[in-house]
């Protein structure tokens, strides 16, 4: 396992920083997460698409979630999304803009849910929710035991944890994400309690929705020149801000999924995001 690497003194900079300013402190203190080697060749590029620095999101639980776990997830995810240290890592992709996250609350969606859920089910549910403010992400949270199916061979039983996308209806775009209740052999298990796995998955998906919300349109456009114009921050040969750390963990998922200490003194299970300034997943300062 690689030791923790500090990139502050070796990292080339292409910007000028006021001495002893907050901006200088952020760049001088940035630390590559333990277990990773710097790989600046995988850095994200801004390709011109939409981004959501001021993000809003809501959680829609499917029936079957224990109430105490819902409360724990609501609290931890909201705290992580609002944490100054974690948001400072994201701020490098939004120069001159404030990086914020607003929690619009959570609800339980009534009604029976099939044992296996696919994208058609998820997008139909999102469309039925009615008008959603522009830029707000609807997070669909699957109940215990429900299997998420993407396509043949790609399901939560084979390692799928969730994804994010968009629905176009009635002249509006609604962004969404979906997360598996990860436990046992279903989904991505990195923590000792299922709700913590869901929290890290949703943190991953929300940060990807923030930096690359229209990726679904790029996928729909296929292998055309038009596809690239939909992409925001993306590494053409590596993927989105949350995907690259997973791949670079080389199967040791706990290198990228951590329970971190937040500025308010609480802890939250998150997935570390790719940071161009350290050439890898960045360890939050508070942890």
Using one digit for the tens of pLDDT, what is the confidence trace for 257-270?
Answer: 999 999 999 999 99
CA atoms of 123 and 130, how far apart (whole Å): 12
Higher local confidence (pLDDT), 19 or 64: 64
Reply yes or no on whether the pLDDT at 11 is more than 80. no
pTM of the predicted model, to two decimals?
0.90
Q: Do 44 and 236 contact (CB within 8 A), yes or no?
A: no
What's the gap between Cα 237 and its chain centre?
A: 19
Average pLDDT of span 123-134? 93
Under the banding of pLDDT at 50, 70 and 90, the label for residue 8 is very low
* 218 torsion bin: left (phi>0), alpha (psi -120 to 50), beta (else): alpha
Under the banding of pLDDT at 50, 70 and 90, the label for residue 10 is very low
Q: Do 50 and 242 contact (CB within 8 A), yes or no?
A: no
pLDDT at position 3 is 30
**What's the half-sphere exposure (Cβ side, CA atoms, 13 Å) at 12?**
2
Query: For the chain, which residues make up each domain, given as ranges?
Result: 46-235+252-268
CA atoms of 16 and 146, how far apart (whole Å): 51
DSSP 48: S
Report the topology of domain 46-235+252-268: Collagenase (Catalytic Domain) (3.40.390)
pLDDT at position 1 is 31
Q: Do 179 and 205 contact (CB within 8 A), yes or no?
A: yes
CA atoms of 275 and 118, how far apart (whole Å): 32
For 139, the 3-state DSSP assignment is: strand
Instruction: Count CB neighbours of 241 within 10 A.
Output: 26
pLDDT at position 215 is 97
């Amino acid at each position: 396992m690689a030791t923790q690497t500090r990139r502050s003194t070796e990292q080339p900079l292409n910007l000028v920083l006021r001495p002893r300013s907050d901006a200088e402190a952020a760049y001088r203190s940035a630390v590559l997460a333990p277990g990773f080697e710097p790989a600046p060749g995988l850095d994200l590029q801004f390709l011109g698409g939409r981004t959501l620095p001021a993000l809003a999101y809501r959680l829609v639980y499917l029936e079957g979630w224990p109430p105490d776990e819902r409360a724990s997830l609501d609290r931890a995810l909201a705290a992580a999304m609002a944490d100054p240290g974690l948001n400072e890592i994201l701020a490098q992709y939004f120069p001159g803009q404030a990086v914020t996250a607003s929690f619009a609350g959570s609800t339980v969606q009534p009604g029976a849910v099939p044992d296996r859920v696919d994208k058609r089910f998820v997008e139909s549910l999102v469309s039925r929710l009615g008008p959603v403010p522009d830029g707000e992400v609807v997070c669909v949270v699957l109940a215990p035991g429900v299997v998420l199916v993407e396509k043949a061979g790609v399901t939560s039983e084979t390692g799928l944890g969730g994804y994010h996308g968009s629905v176009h209806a009635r002249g509006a775009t609604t962004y969404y994400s979906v997360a598996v209740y990860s436990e046992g052999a279903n989904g991505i298990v990195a923590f000792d309690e299922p709700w913590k796995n869901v929290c890290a998955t949703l943190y991953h998906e929300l940060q990807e929705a923030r930096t690359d919300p229209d990726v679904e349109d790029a996928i729909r456009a296929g292998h055309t020149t038009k596809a690239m114009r939909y992409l925001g921050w993306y590494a053409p040969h590596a993927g989105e801000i949350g995907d690259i750390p997973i791949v670079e963990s080389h199967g040791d998922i706990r290198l990228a999924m951590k329970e971190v200490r937040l500025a308010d003194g609480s802890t939250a299970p998150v997935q570390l995001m790719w940071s161009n300034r350290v050439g890898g997943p960045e360890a939050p300062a508070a942890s």
